[in-house]
């Protein structure tokens, strides 16, 4: 028997790094069904993060089919997709994966990035993209392959990104989209490939680029995919946005100066802008004419909190209990300051250093495990708050991602940033909701998710205390940077 719900539902996919989610979402943005699995990320050596693109594709189809189980196919108006960004997803001349995808959080290219920065090539890339350049950027990975695996690089026929690969599997359309592509060789302003940049760098040839589709366009579901999913042949599949942009579209759509933060595998702060100011943060295409996305995306996120649970022996404890434990450590005078830079590929925002490492400051014999737990929550929150400050966010900030369910984390971000945070019912699945909202716009449906059950987090500390906390973070970081370089030199 089929699940009964409104016509105009959408089958949505969020192909993330930690998990792959598929859901049927109805016309009122209610989740009818949802299916989730852990993404099978491979780590063949320390610091390496890869995906078998074929296995990933099978996971995608399995989740989509599972979400459709028991749902009447005739109620599905289309398929909406979003996914992780950056990395190197490479195809050969037969349109087959050229080895595993190298992910955005892969660290193998750290030293390559340093040499590119010293040679002025990072500045050259940013003059076109205005975006973040880090070890997981395609431009840097391509240089690594040129130096270490030139045979593989010479066989690259096309390069694309995660959601482009998913769309190809569903529709057979092999295309790029600007919110991803502008983080490689695409001019963020003109949305055209910069062939001169590619020739100057000398790694991937301009012939490897794909046609750039508009995020608001759709492509027909091909027969083989339709048969696997039990859906009508030719069903519209949205070109879609990268996950961070899709999340923003859920909250803001085409309204400038609106902002949001994501706490997931990494964190992200974004603001919709109508004018580019290259001196403030990074920039990327947003999928709406006349608008761009001004952003900073620190590598710090929920994995740091999971690491703390594991280190402290609280792995079996639920998040609410762990947060309660951490609150016990919020005692002035003994709580340490944490530099939360534990990602193997270093940090990319609000500063960029591929050798950045985490540390604890202010430890004494009186420091307790609860103090340590609180410092980890505070470290994540300070990283996000610093990005909010640097982007000059003026109004309230919408909060999304798995970490948004933590009251403690939301309150600390509000305290350290001095801004009101808003958490709504859709915050946990904002990427899926944004993908659906973008597809609905493409199909001529003017829809807006409900903001019911919104919880507000207001700053609870004095402004001077907030500024002191950020100053302590920056001072500790500055003092540690020489140590990072020394540790990198001996590794």
Omega before 350 within 30 of 0, i.e. cis: yes
- Determine whether 490 is exposed, middle or buried from the number of CB atoms within 10 Å of its CB (0-12, 13-18, 19+): exposed
**Which residue matches tokens 């920039």?**
283
Cβ-proximal residues to 118 (8 Å cutoff; 6+ apart), any chain: none
DSSP states of 280-344? SSEEEE-SSTT-EEEEE--S-SHHHHHHHHHHTT-TTS-HHHHHHHHHTT--TTTPPEEE----T
Q: Read off the pTM.
A: 0.93
CA-to-CA distance for 471 and 345, rounded, in angstroms? Answer: 24
Output the tens digit of pLDDT for each of the chain's 491 residues: 444 445 689 999 999 999 999 999 999 899 999 999 999 999 999 999 999 999 999 999 999 999 999 999 999 999 999 999 999 999 999 999 999 999 999 999 999 999 999 999 999 999 999 999 999 999 999 999 999 999 999 999 999 999 999 999 999 999 999 999 999 999 998 899 999 999 999 999 999 999 999 999 999 999 999 999 999 999 999 999 999 999 999 999 989 999 999 999 999 999 999 998 878 889 999 989 899 999 999 999 999 999 999 999 999 999 999 999 999 998 766 789 999 999 998 999 999 999 999 999 999 999 999 999 999 999 999 999 999 999 999 889 999 999 999 999 999 999 999 999 999 988 889 999 999 999 999 898 877 777 778 999 999 988 878 889 999 999 999 999 989 988 877 76
DSSP states of 174-225? --EEHHHHTTTTB-TTT--B-HHHHHHHTSS-GGG---EE-TT-EEEPPHHH
Domains of the chain: 9-239 (3.30.420.40), 243-491 (3.30.420.40)
């Amino acid at each position: 028997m089929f699940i009964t719900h409104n016509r105009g539902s959408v089958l949505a996919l969020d192909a993330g790094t930690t998990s792959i989610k598929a859901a049927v979402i109805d016309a009122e943005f209610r989740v009818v069904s949802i299916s989730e699995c852990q993404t099978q990320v491979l780590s063949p050596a320390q610091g390496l993060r890869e995906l078998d693109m074929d296995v990933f594709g099978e996971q995608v189809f399995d989740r989509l089919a599972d979400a459709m189980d028991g749902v009447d196919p005739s109620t599905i108006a289309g398929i909406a997709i979003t996914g992780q960004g950056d990395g190197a997803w490479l195809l050969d001349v037969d349109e087959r994966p050229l080895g595993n995808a190298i992910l955005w959080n892969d660290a193998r290219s750290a030293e390559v990035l340093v040499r590119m920065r010293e040679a002025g090539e990072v500045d050259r890339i940013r003059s076109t993209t205005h975006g973040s350049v880090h070890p997981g950027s395609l431009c840097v990975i391509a240089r690594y392959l040129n130096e270490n695996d030139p045979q593989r690089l010479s066989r690259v026929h096309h390069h694309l990104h995660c959601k482009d690969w998913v769309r190809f599997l569903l529709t057979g359309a092999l295309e790029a989209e600007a919110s991803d592509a502008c983080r490689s060789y695409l001019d963020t302003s003109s949305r055209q490939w910069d062939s001169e940049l590619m020739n100057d760098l000398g790694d991937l040839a301009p012939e490897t680029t794909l046609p750039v589709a508009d995020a608001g366009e759709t492509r027909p579901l091909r027969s083989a995919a339709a048969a696997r999913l039990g859906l009508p042949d030719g069903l519209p599949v949205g070109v879609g946005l990268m996950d961070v942009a899709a999340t923003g579209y859920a909250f803001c759509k085409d309204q400038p100066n609106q902002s949001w933060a994501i706490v997931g595998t990494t964190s992200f702060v974004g603001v919709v802008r109508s004018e580019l100011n290259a001196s403030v943060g990074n920039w990327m295409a947003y999928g709406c004419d006349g608008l761009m996305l001004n952003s900073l995306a620190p590598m710090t996120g929920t994995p740091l909190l999971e690491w703390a649970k594991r280190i402290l022996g609280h792995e079996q404890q639920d998040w609410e209990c762990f947060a309660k434990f951490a609150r016990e450590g919020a005692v002035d005078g003994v709580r340490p300051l944490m530099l939360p830079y534990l990602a193997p590929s270093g940090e990319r925002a609000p500063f960029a250093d591929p050798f950045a490492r985490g540390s604890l400051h202010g430890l004494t014999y009186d420091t307790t495990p609860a103090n340590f737990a609180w410092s980890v929550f505070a470290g994540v929150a300070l990283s996000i708050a610093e990005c909010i400050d640097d982007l000059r966010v003026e109004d309230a900030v919408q909060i999304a991602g798995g970490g948004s369910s933590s009251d403690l984390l939301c309150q600390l971000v509000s305290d350290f940033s001095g801004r009101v945070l808003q958490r709504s019912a859709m915050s946990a699945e904002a990427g899926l909701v944004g993908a659906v909202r973008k597809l609905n716009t493409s199909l001529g449906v003017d829809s807006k998710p409900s903001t019911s059950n919104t919880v507000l987090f207001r700053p609870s500390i004095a402004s001077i205390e907030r500024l002191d906390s950020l100053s302590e973070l920056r001072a500790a970081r500055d003092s540690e940077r020489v140590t990072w370089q020394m540790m990198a030199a001996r590794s």
